[in-house]
Structure 1
Amino acid sequence: MKNQDDANRTPVTVLGLGLMGQALAGALLRAGHPTTVWNRTAAKAGPLVAQGARLAGSVRDAVTAGPLLIVCVSDYDAVHELLDPLDEVLEGRTLVNLTSGTSRSARETAEWAARRGVTYLDGSIMAVPEAIGTADSVLVHSGPRPAFDLYEPTLRSLGAAMYLDADHGLSSLHETAVVGLMYSTLNGFLQGAAMLGAAGVNAEAFAPIAKTATGMVVDWFAGYGRQIDDGTYPALDATLDTHLAAMENVIHESEFLGVSTDLPRFVKALADRSVSDGHGADSYAALIEQFRTSSS
């Protein structure tokens, strides 16, 4: 027999059972939420059904199963392909869209939802599937605050649930900003691994040193963030002129080792332009002015 807490759990529908969708539905089930699932390939629902999920026979059946609908599919076009035909059953429900996309797509989908009487929260997942439902999972949400407050206890089943703003586009914008950070970090590691590999050092041996160095750089974020917000860039650690000398070393070392110089030359080109603009005595944060300039 279910206890009172279980009886009060919000029923949730999850559309999309890729690796992330399966992780989301699994976390909801573990938290005691009655969970309905749907996927184009129904076989993917097997493990979730074994854990107590209800497999819907159609998208319509899934949508009508409860007040809260979580969607995590390939892209926003797929979201609309699934939900556009269901206007008459969407009204009055809350849609939390955890599909990756752009801020423009998020805002357009919010307008689409409003025309159909759907309360819309756009969300982004800052975690790998294995972390969903743990302290290592963070999900950010944007849209109407009352809807977030209402369903925050349910959303916390998936990880730390953060509210950003009423602007529906901010969650997707945060996700793409983090993705850009991820690629920059990984590319820096690959450049270093290529350089060390030319000297016979295994990339795995480089990894712990790279992790320590990355942690040091992360500690600079808050201070650089304040400088960017203030619009002033005092060189508290090193000037941009000093950084340029270090960039030259990376280029020369790469050339000597027969490793590509594309990445370090690109970074130095940004710094050169910043110095030309008069920021040679400023901190590295002054490069934000280069990133704010459209390349088109």
Structure 2
Amino acid sequence: MDDLQKATAQAIVNVFETGRILGNYSAVTVLKGDSGHLTYGRSQTTLGSGNLYKLLLSYCQKSTSKVAEQLQASLPRFQQKDFTLDTDAGVKDLLKQAGTEAVMRAAQDQFFNENFFAPALRAADAAGITQPLGQAVVYDSHIQGGWGALQPQMPALNAVGGETAWIAKYVDKRKAWLQSLKAPLPGTVYRMDAFNALINAGKWNLALPLTVHGVTITAEAISGDAPGPGTQPRTLRLVSPYLRGDDVKQIQAKLNPGDTADGIYGPFTDALVKKFQQGHAPPIVEDGAGPLTRAALGL
């Protein structure tokens, strides 16, 4: 894997987690039924796993900001996995503010690389997986979970026709596994559908551009340069599986500010969008929440 392929693999998972190519360092999410409870950051580390405490400890040790000072007081609650943090608006606001700091961004990059990406590459190497797309699949399994449970159940690479066939079978197995779990995990099978689309397109080297879950990833977008063609915010529509991400949460927060944004573009959110479009003067005519709707909402 070269540096661009590594960044592309990370971008794929960032899109899955936050809807953004570079991730959203300020993203704070609580999904009903999620055993991880409060999740935070570029690749959404969780309170329930204990990893959110580790990330915040690293940040607080490095930052001298007022936000870090205030979060420091809440570290014992994160260490104890205090699930009342799920509904603590003050703490969640501090997390969002921290995500705008360069120190927090650097802390997240280091944390996710050391605790997820590097171990995923080592696991892929041990399993004989050398293709960048296959390594991205393994990385996603480390971020969301499942590698430790599913990989031992898989046959040897040479028993199924080699690496590419093995990866395809693993993706199918992981999709079935996700569907067997409690909500909200069955709703995340779009990740496996996205990998299947890349497999079918022959994107084994992660050659750019490529499109994942409605988002086009380009070298310019990964580098943070001015967006190239196709890198504008995606149009949100009611599809199956439902689109998810921070961009959905932004729309929800504008349309229904009194409610908690869950980041899932389901029937209720679609109805809110249509109601807003029809009530706008003049009415907004577009399929889904696209550039016209975003502009009218001030996004």
TM-score (norm 1): 0.24
**Which structure is higher in RCO with an 8 Å CA cutoff and minimum separation 6?**
2
TM-score (norm 2): 0.24
Structure whose CA Rg is larger = 1
Q: Which has the larger strand fraction?
A: 1
